[in-house]
A = this chain, B = another copy of it.
Amino acid sequence: MRDLPFLAFDADDTLWHNESFFALTEEAFTQLLAPYAEPGALRERLTRTERRNLGVFGYGVKGYTLSMIETAIEVTDGAVPAMVLQALLDLGKEMMAHPVTLLDGVADVLEQVAGRFPLMLITKGDLFHQEDKVARSGLADLFSAVEIVSEKDTGTYSRLLARHSIPPEQFVMIGNSLRSDVIPILEIGGWGVHIPYHLTWAHENAPEPLGHARYVRLADIRDIPAWVDAQFPSLGIVED
């Protein structure tokens, strides 16, 4: 038996668009609250509320919606009309129900590598919403495991690797977040492949681990097959 690398993919902003919908929602939020504060200040207050609430609500659209409502009340000293808050609630529901839009090339690349390597999807956030998005993505059948976790840190990744009996050096995590998809994986001995998205949530910022032997930055998910072939060349030889 040869040792195939396990390719694990992040979902939001790696396989499908996510942050861009948050950006649109934030734009609508600042417009709804425009009579009370200017956009820059609103964005800053919302980010602060989100950070403060992260430990209470965790990641996801429902917590974000509650944070929008809280910020709107705070910023207006309670003067915000209930109908504006209802509009924020509706924005949250729209995000929950939004169609899943795959990034360019994702479907092709995944179909191509799924026949050669075991694939895993690892995403953090709201269990209900993420399961729903995986189902609607049409990609679920390509993964041998789908893992929805509340935080992507070294502890979570170590437990996942142990549960699936994967040695770290055979584990490749591919995603758009240095903080969640790359750095903790490098720390536990795996490969971290960074494919930047054009937007990064403030909370996901982290310094790039330039020069790390198992860190790779690719411009596009379509670069994955060639990189895997170059990195694990023995796999070109078919063994029994």
Contact = CB atoms under 8 A, between A and B. Distances in A.
The complex is assembled from copies of this chain, and their number is 2
A216 interface: no
Nearest to A127: B127
B85 A69 contact: yes
A58 interface: yes
Category for how many chain A residues contact B: 35 or more
Nearest to A85: B85
B78 A86 contact: yes
B57 A96 contact: yes
A76 B40 CA distance: 32
Interface string A117-144: 0000000001111010000000000000
A109 B228 CA distance: 51
Contacts of A65: 66
A20 B209 CA distance: 49
B82 A80 contact: yes
A78 B82 contact: yes
Which 9 pairs, one residue from A and one from B, show the smallest C-beta to C-beta distance? A58-B128, A127-B127, A62-B62, A78-B82, A128-B150, A73-B82, A78-B83, A73-B86, A80-B82
